[in-house]
Amino acid sequence: MQPFVYNALPSRVIFGSGTIVQLADEIKALGASRALVLTTKHQQRDGERLCEQLGSLAVGLYANATMHTPVDVTNDALEYVARTRADCVVALGGGSTIGLGKAIALHTDLPQVVIPTTYAGSEATPIIGQTENGLKTTQRTLKVLPEVVLYDVDLTLTLPPEITVTSGLNAIAHAVEALYSKDANPLISQLAEQGIASLASALPRIQKNPEDLEARSDALFGAWACGVCLGAVGMSIHHKLCHTLGGTFNLPHAETHSIVLPHATAYNSAAAPDAMARICRALGGVSDAAAGLYDLAVSLGAPTQLKDIGLREQDLAQAVEIACSSPYWNPRPIEADGIKQLLANAFLGRRP
């Protein structure tokens, strides 16, 4: 066994079915009594029901969480926090809502309870991405790590198939990058492999039967595992590209991750053979990690071409420039020609 360093993250995780009934007790355990519920506009009615469930513990609902956490939305939410004198936030939803909760915590130190309804995995990380003036930046700080994550499998049963697939592939991307991170360690690598395997097994079963409770449970566990991996170690070229494409060109978050993942994996394939072997094993014994990830996406009906989700061909040069200007650490050096080819392949949806 080689020497390693592992930093555990301090958060409380509750996992099961019907766990939503424990929310009030968790808020009180934090010493809070004025919870502000956060959702997107799409999940506003769910937020209203949650406020009804909390009764006097809820001081309001802010239902304007927005993809890529725009700074202007955060500033508006902070004003609402001040008006309601909230002493904690409850984020109900996926990455957009969780991101807003983190942004509020970054500025106020308010404790967070997160109730994920997708497989984004952001709830398990001390990482926040924010968008301002067309650029998405990230930072890592324990100030944004949620104090409590409440997983209720029942809340994912109605997650639409297309969101199920893309958010699941997004989660897998977290674990894939953890396997070749400069901070990789045996504990996280084991968890990453388990997370990929759980999602790769669960997503086809959910596609056949969206109300398969066991498959939904496996997928939600996999999402947690993959999120923990991302939170414990660093990000590399895949996440840099997705942040660039999302923040600058406003591409949908999960779909972008789904499309870029096989190509980022192919880019790093020769430089990270141990990681590739683990990915192959987690995917059921495929012979090539990048092709296996691409084939999984195709089998699930996920988008495979950046041109189909809003990127224009003339945007590719700018994307390459931004991605190379302040690159994350990566096992293979970040080279403009290589990134150009990677994005060209993702733009057209070529199989690695």
Residue range 38-44: average pLDDT? 97
Residue range 75-101: average pLDDT? 97
Q: Same domain for 269 and 170?
A: yes
State which of 125, 156, 187 marks the end of a domain: 156
Taking each helix axis as running N to C, give the angle between helix 186-208 and helix 273-282, from 0 to 180 degrees, rounded to the nearest 10: 30
The pLDDT tens digits for 196-229 are 999 999 999 999 999 999 999 999 999 999 999 9
State which of 156, 173, 195 marks the end of a domain: 156
Q: What is the pLDDT of residue 255?
A: 96
Share of the chain above pLDDT 70, in %: 100
Q: Which domain holds residue 260?
A: 161-348
Residue 328 lies in a domain: yes
3-state secondary structure 166-188: HHHHHHHHHHHHHHCCCCCCHHH
Q: Same domain for 170 and 86?
A: no
- Exposure class string for 312-328: b at 16+ Cβ within 10 A, else e: eeebbeebbebbbeebb
The whole-angstrom separation of Cα 236 and Cα 225 is 18
Residue 92 lies in a domain: yes
Taking each helix axis as running N to C, give the angle between helix 186-208 and helix 289-299, from 0 to 180 degrees, rounded to the nearest 10: 30
Asked whether 147 and 30 are in contact (CB, 8 A), the reply is yes
Q: Same domain for 184 and 302?
A: yes
Close Cβ partners of 151 (under 8 Å, ≥ 6 residues apart) = 13, 14, 15, 16, 19, 115, 116, 220, 224
Q: Same domain for 50 and 99?
A: yes
The pLDDT tens digits for 274-318 are 999 999 999 999 999 999 999 999 999 999 999 999 999 999 999
Residue 139 lies in a domain: yes
Residue 188 lies in a domain: yes
Q: Same domain for 222 and 339?
A: yes
Q: Same domain for 146 and 176?
A: no
Q: Same domain for 33 and 178?
A: no
Q: Same domain for 65 and 169?
A: no
Residue 4 lies in a domain: no
DSSP calls for 148-165: EEEEEGGGGTT--HHHHH
**Chain-centre distance of CA 118, in angstroms?**
9
Q: Same domain for 203 and 297?
A: yes
Instruction: Give the CATH number, domain containing residue 204.
Output: 1.20.1090.10
Enter the DSSP assignment of 328: P
Flag whether pLDDT at 234 surpasses 90. no
Residue 150 lies in a domain: yes
Residue 5 lies in a domain: no
Q: What is the pLDDT of residue 2?
A: 72
The whole-angstrom separation of Cα 329 and Cα 338 is 15
Flag whether pLDDT at 344 surpasses 80. yes
Residue 6 lies in a domain: no
Q: Same domain for 224 and 102?
A: no
Name the token pair of 350. Answer: 């070529």
Q: Same domain for 35 and 184?
A: no
How many folded domains does the chain comprise? 2
The pLDDT tens digits for 129-154 are 999 988 888 899 999 999 999 999 99
Q: What is the pLDDT of residue 1?
A: 67
Q: Same domain for 202 and 338?
A: yes
State which of 134, 156, 178 marks the end of a domain: 156
Asked whether 6 and 14 are in contact (CB, 8 A), the reply is no
Taking each helix axis as running N to C, give the angle between helix 253-268 and helix 161-179, from 0 to 180 degrees, rounded to the nearest 10: 30
- Identify the bridge partners of residue 116 per DSSP, sorted by sequence position: 93
The whole-angstrom separation of Cα 93 and Cα 87 is 20
Quote the strand ranges of the chain, DSSP E.
12-16, 35-38, 58-62, 88-93, 112-116, 127-132, 135-140, 148-152
68 to each of 19, 95, 276, 312, how far by Cα in Å? Answer: 28, 8, 29, 19
State the distance between the two ends of the chain, measured CA to CA, in whole angstroms.
33
Instruction: Give the CATH number, domain containing residue 85.
Output: 3.40.50.1970
Residue range 227-249: average pLDDT? 91
